[in-house]
Amino acid sequence: MSIPTPHIGAEHKECFAKTVLMPGDPLRAKYIAENKLESPVLVNEVRGMLGYTGIYKGVSVSVMASGMGMPSIGIYSYELFNFYDVENIIRVGSAGALSPTLDLYDIVAAAGACTNSAFANQYKLNGTFAPIANYHLLRTFDDTAAELGINVHIGNVVSSDTFYSADKDSDAQWRDMGVLAIEMEAAALYMNASKAGKHALAVFTISDCLFSNKATTAQERQTGFDTMITAALETAVKL
């Protein structure tokens, strides 16, 4: 396959920086580009999945939306890794807290991503693949956050194929296995990075707490995650 790809309209590999921040929401990508980057240039708008490249502290950084769910981030991360020579993708998303130690706006970095998805079946492995973050990215993010005075909770998340699940016991079962939070994309991102020999990290701001009924609004999720975004951008300039 050549570029542009079926899902990314950028004409040249150089349209994307080596590091891409990847929120799910296109409007969050737009917010990051317009409020955090110098001279942002729109490099993709196919299907409304906005992507930009700009400058942060003298370093070229891109931000592009992934959409919701593993099939969607699976497409966009695959094309960025394999056709646009992107080296690092940092997912900057929201997650629902499973652990009672987490509260709204806490930041979680996914060392690993459990999943109920069959995404790994395509690799025909004789066993169960464990999707994990790139250690260098994870350590750099944690160290950077510490320099900024930001506390990061590091551990397992679960990437679910279902938002509205018929299994009403599932969340508690994952919680009882020590899983910190639930989201819908990290496992596919980690698998694509592993297969491509590239680097990925998923970090999250807690947007709701599943066992205490706390929740943020859609507007707060779109623009209220500046602490996480700043830590991710500061990480990007060190890579």
Question: pLDDT 10s per residue in the chain (239 long)?
Answer: 788 999 999 999 999 999 999 999 999 999 999 999 999 999 999 999 999 999 999 999 999 999 999 999 999 999 999 999 999 999 999 999 999 999 999 999 999 999 999 999 999 999 999 999 999 999 999 999 999 999 999 999 999 999 999 999 999 999 999 999 999 999 999 999 999 999 999 999 999 999 998 988 877 776 679 999 999 999 999 99
How is domain 13-236 classified at the architecture level of CATH? 3-Layer(aba) Sandwich (3.40)
Long-range contacts of range 25-30, CB-CB < 8 Å, 24 or more positions apart?
A: 25/65, 25/221, 25/222, 26/50, 26/65, 26/67, 27/222, 28/65, 28/92, 28/221, 28/222, 28/223, 28/225, 29/63, 29/64, 29/65
Distance CA 67, CA 64 (A): 9
User: Residue type at 54?
Assistant: G
Q: How distant is the alpha carbon of residue 73 from its chain centre?
A: 9
- pLDDT of 136 reads 98
- pLDDT of 221 reads 72
Two structure tokens written together for 69: 């769910």
Query: Which residues belong to the active site?
Result: 208
Distance CA 131, CA 133 (A): 7
Which secondary-structure segment (H or E) carries 235? Answer: helix 226-236
User: What single-letter DSSP state applies at residue 205?
Assistant: E
Q: Are 199 and 132 in contact (CB under 8 A)?
A: no
Contacts of 32 (CB under 8 A, 6+ apart): 21, 23, 52, 63, 92, 229
Distance CA 223, CA 56 (A): 18
- pLDDT of 121 reads 97
Q: CA torsion, points 227, 233, 237, 239, in degrees to nearest 10?
A: 100
- pLDDT of 3 reads 87
